[in-house]
A and B are shown apart, each in its own frame.
Chain A
Amino acid sequence: MVNPQNLLMSSGRWRSWEYALWLLALASPFALASHALIINEIAIVALFALSLDLILGYTGIVSLGHAAFFGMGAYSAALFAKLVMPDPLVGLVVGMVAAGLLGALCSVTILRGTDLTRLMVTLGVGLILMELANKMSWLTGGADGLQGVIMGPLLGQFEFDLYGRTSAAYSITVLLLVFVLARRFVNSPFGATLKAIRDNRLRAMAIGIPVASRLVVVYTVAATVAGAAGALLAQTSSFASLDVFEFHRSADVMLLLVIGGVGWLYGGVAGAIVFKLMQDVISSITPQYWTFWIGLFLVVLVLVGRDRLIRPWTWFRPSAGGRQP
């Protein structure tokens, strides 16, 4: 007899290989010191993908405007460091809170309508923020980006250096913390209701799940995490520019999450590693046209079937057929 409570708890339990994996990750900035910059980037992107996974993978909301929260976190952390105080940890919290507030505000836009409507409003919110950041140049520096952000040492001890070792260690630590919390979150009864909403919203409503308030909460949480990723980017690069709001960012993060697999918290992390390495390799071969190869990869990925990519032995079997929900 399977007890549902045990089922939930066992899926949330940590396995030994996971401890090893995270220890490796934490050691990587020091072991591969010359690659610390890219490790830092991967950690930030992974965090961003993790946040998208919360709403896309676990709740089934298709969003093309997730960069809005990323950018909000980046700008508020950078502005805070520039105008108020340079402490990174406080800045991180400020970025997260700002993005979370924005997420709570925007969550009303995703409550109604179809996938198309949601695509449009999320896309629209991202574009509006980009326009705002562009036009409010007295505050944000406009198209030139926000310059002159100087970060204080981490915990008052560790200076951010040019090689990015401190940055990478910092980003990975934040990623780990958020990962642990997110895992707790999705494996809780609350997380189970989210999956119910994803699978069948009508049925979820019928068994008494308050769909709207759940969506608001998860959207806010996801926005907060995205804000953390943005804040990390702004802090470790000491710079924020309009680029953080670009449509490319939203599309890329969705892409890499799908590469890694949705609805599985490691998906974002795996996708981030694959995507960043691929980008690094391809753009060193053809710097200008790497989007072509990404596009081709996406098209093939969808035609082969997303769920099959990680199972190569099923590629040549006919597809299961039938309409997917």
Chain B
Amino acid sequence: MLTILFDGVAYGMLLFILAVGLAVTMGLMNFINLAHGAFAMVGGYITVLLMQQFDVPFLLCLPVAFFGSALLGAVLERTLYRPLYNKPHLDQVLFSIGLTFMAVASVDYFIGSGQQIIQLPEWLKGRTELGEGRWMLGMGHYRLFIIAVCAALTVALQYVLTKTRFGSRLRASVDDQRVAAGLGINVNWVFLGTFAVGSGLAGLGGALGAEVLGLDPSFPLKFMIYFLIVVAVGGTSSITGPLLAALLLGIADVAGKYYIPTFGAFIVYSLMIVILIWRPQGLFVRKGAK
């Protein structure tokens, strides 16, 4: 049982890293970016290709995946996303679905539609077991690694957002773009940087998650719903909201698939609908926030 909890936490952490960038773009720029999964896919494919073609070690691939997708995000933000910030949501939805379709078809064309497999280094393959019987805790080393990386990232993100100059500029831009610009904050650059970091985080999540979630061209469509659930349930005003939502979702999904496999993903979707009817702005939104 503890093993399930552990796997659920690892899965949730992974979802959090994948989704936190989206939480930022949605919360900050009020942009419904359904193409977020495409950035995650890019990160995953960068890792796979580097490892397969050039024998780059796994640990080195992760930062490359991050910066690769961040760069792509920055370029796209500059060229395509910016004109759409003030358009209605319907336009944004259509645009990002279009982008996702293009990404899916291009990856299919250039790399092939098969499932890609990542060869983990030896030291991540093992499994440690603690305790006995029902309370046995089996920890896959790779999941342990994921939890460690994600926890470090969460702390770092929280620190950047609440303690640094960039964080306060960002929060100022979120709350009121015009006043922030009037105070001499270059809102465009803040948004560009944030979008790039968000895409980079998605790429990192894709790279980390390729082994757990599987990687093939339909990745963005398959997991889009999960990112969106995390963001919608968690709310977009803080980092802790999506984190808790991701953990809840991860544990519910893993436990549901283990205990009542006949229902499958049914549980997660129903849980989401109930939560959203009950609290349409997300579970962890301060009262009075927008």
Chain A residues engaging chain B, CB cutoff 8 angstroms: 56, 62, 64, 108-109, 112-117, 119-121, 123-125, 127-128, 131-132, 134-135, 247, 251, 254-255, 258, 262, 288-292, 294-299, 301-303, 306, 323-325
The answer to whether B32 touches A119 (Cβ under 8 A) is yes
Question: Is A116 a contact partner of B32 (Cβ separation < 8 A)?
Answer: yes
The complex places the Cα of A179 from the Cα of B265 at a distance, in Å, of: 37
Query: Which residue of A114, A119, A131 contacts B266 across the interface (Cβ within 8 Å)?
Result: A131
Given A119-B93, A296-B98, A298-B95, residue A289 in contact with residue B280 (CB < 8 A):
no
Output the nearest chain A residue to B262 by Cβ-Cβ distance. Answer: A135
- Do A62 and B93 touch across chains, with their CB atoms under 8 A apart? yes
**Chain B residues whose CB sits within 8 angstroms of the CB of A62 once the complex forms:** 89-90, 93
CA distance A258 to B262 in the complex (A): 38
List 10 A-B pairs, minimum CB-CB distance, nearest first. Answer: A298-B98, A113-B280, A295-B101, A292-B105, A295-B102, A302-B95, A299-B98, A295-B98, A112-B280, A120-B232
Binds A, one of B2-10, B55-63, B270-278: B270-278
Do A291 and B225 form a contact, CB below 8 Å, given A115-B89, A127-B265?
A: no
Question: In the complex, A124→B103 CA distance in Å?
Answer: 23
Are B105 and A301 closer than 8 Å at their CB atoms? no
| A184–B221 alpha-carbon span in the complex (Å) | 38
A324 touches B88 (CB 8 A): yes
Is B259 at the interface (CB under 8 A from chain A)? no
Q: What is the CB-to-nearest-CB distance from B177 to chain A, in angstroms, rounded to a whole number?
A: 11
Chain B stretch 83-99: residues in CB contact (< 8 A) with chain A: 83-84, 86-95, 97-99
Q: Which residues of A contact B91 (CB under 8 A)?
A: 302, 306
Contact between B265 and A109, CB atoms less than 8 A apart:
no
Contacts of A262 in B (CB 8 A): 90
Q: How far is the CB of B23 from chain A (nearest CB, A)?
A: 11
Interface residues on B, range: 35 or more
A123 contacts across to B, CB distance below 8 A: 225, 228
CB distance from B145 to the nearest CB of A (A): 31
Is B109 on the interface with A (CB-CB < 8 A)? yes
In the complex, the answer to whether B273 meets A299 with C-beta atoms within 8 Å is no
State whether the Cβ of B119 lies closer than 8 Å to any Cβ in chain A. Answer: no
B97 touches A124 (CB 8 A): no
Query: Could you say which residues of chain B place their CB within 8 Å of the CB of A247?
Result: 221
| B277 → chain A closest CB, angstroms | 6
Output the least CB separation between A114 and chain B (Å).
7
| Chain A residue with the shortest CB-CB distance to B92 | A302
Query: Which secondary structure characterizes the binding site on chain A?
Result: helix
Nearest CB in chain B to that of A294: its residue: B101
Instruction: Using known A-B contacts A128-B266, A258-B90, determine if residue A109 contacts B98 with beta carbons closer than 8 Å.
Output: no
Across the interface, do B276 and A117 meet the contact criterion of CB distance under 8 Å? Answer: yes
Bound form: Cα–Cα A298–B86 in Å: 18
Considering the complex, give the chain B residue whose CB is closest to the CB of A254.
B94
Chain A neighbourhood of B263, CB < 8 A: 131, 135
Cβ of A298 and Cβ of B105 under 8 Å apart?
no
Looking at the complex, which one of B90, B262, B272 makes contact with A120 (CB distance below 8 Å)? B272
- State in angstroms the CA–CA spacing of A108 and B104 once bound together: 34
- Chain B nearest CB: distance from A259 CB in Å? 10
Knowing A135-B264, A298-B95, A302-B91, say if A121 contacts B273 (CB, 8 Å).
Answer: yes
For A290, the closest partner residue in chain B by CB is B105
- Confirm or deny: B197 has a beta carbon within 8 angstroms of a beta carbon on chain A: no
Contact between B232 and A109, CB atoms less than 8 A apart: no
Please measure, in the bound complex, the distance between the C-alpha atom of A119 and the C-alpha atom of B92, giving whole angstroms: 12
Task: Assess the B104–A117 pair: CB atoms within 8 A.
Answer: no
Q: Does B281 contact A (CB under 8 A)?
A: yes
**Chain B residues near A290 (CB, 8 Å)?**
105
Q: Does B229 contact A (CB under 8 A)?
A: yes
14 chain-A/chain-B pairs, Cβ below 8 angstroms: A115-B89, A120-B228, A120-B276, A121-B276, A124-B269, A127-B225, A127-B269, A128-B273, A134-B264, A292-B102, A295-B98, A298-B94, A299-B80, A302-B84
A302 CB contact (under 8 Å) in B86, B98, B105, B266: B98
**B232, A117: Cβ atoms under 8 Å?**
yes
Given contacts A114-B280, A135-B263, A292-B102, contact A124 B273 (CB under 8 A): yes
Q: Shortest beta-carbon distance, A273 to chain B, in Å?
A: 19
* A291-B104 contact given A120-B232, A302-B98, CB 8 Å threshold: yes
Q: B108 interface residue, CB < 8 Å from A?
A: yes
Q: Say yes or no: A131 contacts B280, CB within 8 Å.
A: no
Nearest chain A CB to B209's CB is how many angstroms away?
A: 20
Which B residues touch A297, using CB under 8 A? 98
**Is the CB of B162 closer than 8 A to any CB of chain A?**
no
B106, CB-defined interface residue at 8 Å: yes
Contacts of B74 in A (CB 8 A): none
